[in-house]
Amino acid sequence: MRRQSALLLGLSFVVAVALVPGIAAAETLVGGSVVVDADETVGDTSATGGTVVVEGTVDGDLKAYGGSVHVAEGGEVTGIVRAYGGTVTVDGSVGGNVLAYGGSVRVGETAEIDRSFGAVAGDVTLEGRIGGDVAAVAGEITLAETALVEGSLNHFGDLREEGGTVEGVVQDGSDLALGPPTEIVTALLAVAAVVGDLLLGAVLVRVSPRFADSATDTVRTEPVYTLAVGLAATVGTLAVIAVLAVTIVGLPLAVGALASSLLLAWVARVYGQYVVGAIVLSLTAYGNRYLALLVGVLGVTVLGIVPYLGAAVSVVVFGLGAGVVALGGHSLWRLVTDRPGGLADI
């Protein structure tokens, strides 16, 4: 089992690490306060700081993370702006699109955005010129008297119009009913989830059947311990991601860690379903691994529909799967550290 679990979890680790965002071939600025001065010109830039201010020129794209992100009057970004901050303000000129995520987002009166503008925030204020469409998701969107939107304005939230100009159409997203009924969408998503779990489970069983058998034996002999390990590992992972997310420098790592954790959570859920199916099937005369996967996935899915019971079953099944993955990861760690050649000796 140790060699099989090492290979399987090693592969999962490589895929998970690949999801962590790397540093692109761009200038990276980090500090308590990051400023591109008025007489300064930089290329594609990734800036992280308590405050990020652009007073000069970014000749390319700007990706900014900060408590406050500000493209000041006179500042210029020739490419795309992606800003994540408590407050995001654009008073300068942007040659490409602007995507802003913050508690408060404002396009100032002196702002010139040549292409589209998108924002997700607590409140959004539009005072300047936007050359393309606007899509805003916020509690309140203000269209000031000085605002000029040369495309359409699509908003999800309360719109306060103060006399600004929108050359296209103004559309309240809550009024749209272009999609199929919710019941159909829910059913399709449920079917897609079942098919996805079956496909992933088939791959896992095919790649490491011995690990799947060992996982079943572990849960059968130590169910409470495995569940406790899985829930503890889940809580610990969420805590680490939360700590990274509240630090400015750690925010990009938190995004990557979250993506990696979601992948591993999917693997854990499938293993939990497989183990349940295998244990149930062991009570009969059948012992096929793929049949166990089918029984587990369909059984857990059906039980998940039952109010209250479904939620409890889902938590337990996921906890068992997470415990299996965590214990397998621990076995991999011991295997690597016990061998002088590390992974090369596996």
230 and 309 together in one domain: yes
139 and 200 together in one domain: no
Is residue 103 assigned to a domain?
A: yes
pTM for this prediction? 0.52
pLDDT digits (tens, 9 = 90+) for 228-277: 999 999 999 999 888 888 876 777 888 888 999 999 999 999 999 999 99
194 and 294 together in one domain: yes
Calpha distance 28→178 (Å, rounded): 42
**What tokens does 174 get?**
């809550």
Is residue 72 assigned to a domain?
A: yes
Q: Is 163 strand, coil or helix?
A: coil
225 and 153 together in one domain: no
pLDDT digits (tens, 9 = 90+) for 102-113: 899 999 999 999
243 and 224 together in one domain: yes
Among residues 175, 200, 235, the one where a domain terminates is 175
Is residue 28 assigned to a domain?
A: no
Residues found in the chain: 346
pLDDT digits (tens, 9 = 90+) for 145-198: 999 999 999 999 899 999 999 999 998 876 655 556 667 778 888 899 999 999
Is residue 88 assigned to a domain?
A: yes
Is residue 32 assigned to a domain?
A: no
pLDDT digits (tens, 9 = 90+) for 56-102: 999 999 998 888 999 999 999 999 999 998 899 999 999 999 999 98
Among residues 112, 145, 175, the one where a domain terminates is 175
Calpha distance 74→58 (Å, rounded): 12
Among residues 175, 202, 229, the one where a domain terminates is 175
| Residue 13 confidence (pLDDT) | 39
Asked if the model's pLDDT at residue 1 lies above 80, the reply is: no
- Quote the mean pLDDT of the chain: 85
158 and 228 together in one domain: no
- Structural domains in the chain (count): 2
Looking at beta carbons, which pairs linking 125-133 to residues 24 or more positions away fall under 8 Å?
126/164, 127/164, 128/90, 128/91, 132/97, 133/168
132 and 147 together in one domain: yes
Is residue 145 assigned to a domain?
A: yes
* Domain of 166, in residue numbers: 37-175
55 and 185 together in one domain: no
237 and 309 together in one domain: yes
Residue type at position 237:
T
Is residue 29 assigned to a domain?
A: no
Is residue 47 assigned to a domain?
A: yes
pLDDT digits (tens, 9 = 90+) for 19-50: 333 333 457 877 788 899 999 999 998 888 78
170 and 297 together in one domain: no
Asked if the model's pLDDT at residue 9 lies above 70, the reply is: no
| Residue 106 confidence (pLDDT) | 95
199 and 297 together in one domain: yes
263 and 308 together in one domain: yes
Calpha distance 145→147 (Å, rounded): 6
